[in-house]
Every structure is written in structure tokens, then in C-alpha cells.
Amino acid sequence: MIEYVPYSSEPGAHSPAVICDTCRKQIVGEGLAVWRIKLRVKDEPRQQTPLYTTHKRECEQALHSQLNGQYPLDENWIDFSEEIDVFLKQLSKNINRSPIDDPDGS
């Protein structure tokens, strides 16, 4: 999740930061964007979970345990994740273009 966090050196100043959805602490360095997509059966509409952000290792494992309750892998849900820095670069690039309108994905 992206939230505004205060600067410690400037009272009243805030800046956006990526917060871990598991431990609620800021992700600095390694982290993941995580989501699940359900495999389509016949003409079912596409289903996707919300997007989560998490630290790697313990927080990631805890998040997957939580997701298993709501979006079980044995019910055709598939895990997806992206390194947080790669995810943010892609997101930034998509501010000025739509991937849907980009047939070659460049």
C-alpha cells in the first residue's frame, strides 16, 4: 500500500512511501508487489485480488497464508509477484500510456 509518511527532520512534511500490508512498516530496499489471478473456467469473468505490498521472507509468507484463506490455490488462484522496484518503474511508465493500447508491450 502506498501511504504518506512524515519526514523525521521536517515537521509537517510528508512523502509517499510503500508500506508492507503484513507488518505495516515501510518497505525500504527489497519488497514485492503481490496479487493472485483466478484461472478462467469457460466464460467466467476475469478475477483478480487486490494488489498487496510486502517485505520479502517472513512478511511474504504471512501474506500468502492470509491469501490462502480468501483465495485458495486449490480453487484455481495463481500467485503473481513483482520486485517492488520493477513494479514501481512499470507503474511510473504507465502514467503516460495505457498498456492495453500498446500492442507490442514496449
pLDDT digits (tens, 9 = 90+) for 13-38: 899 999 999 999 999 999 999 999 99
- Spatial neighbors of 54 by CB under 8 A, at least 6 apart, are 20, 21, 22, 27, 31, 32, 34, 60, 63
Query: Among positive and negative, which fits the CA dihedral 59, 60, 61, 63?
Result: positive
Alpha helices (runs of H) in 1-106, residue ranges in sequence order: 58-70, 84-93
**What pTM does this model have?**
0.83
Alpha carbons 97 and 105: distance in angstroms, whole number: 11
The alpha carbons of the chain give a radius of gyration, in whole angstroms, of 16
pLDDT digits (tens, 9 = 90+) for 38-73: 998 788 888 999 999 999 999 999 999 999 999 999
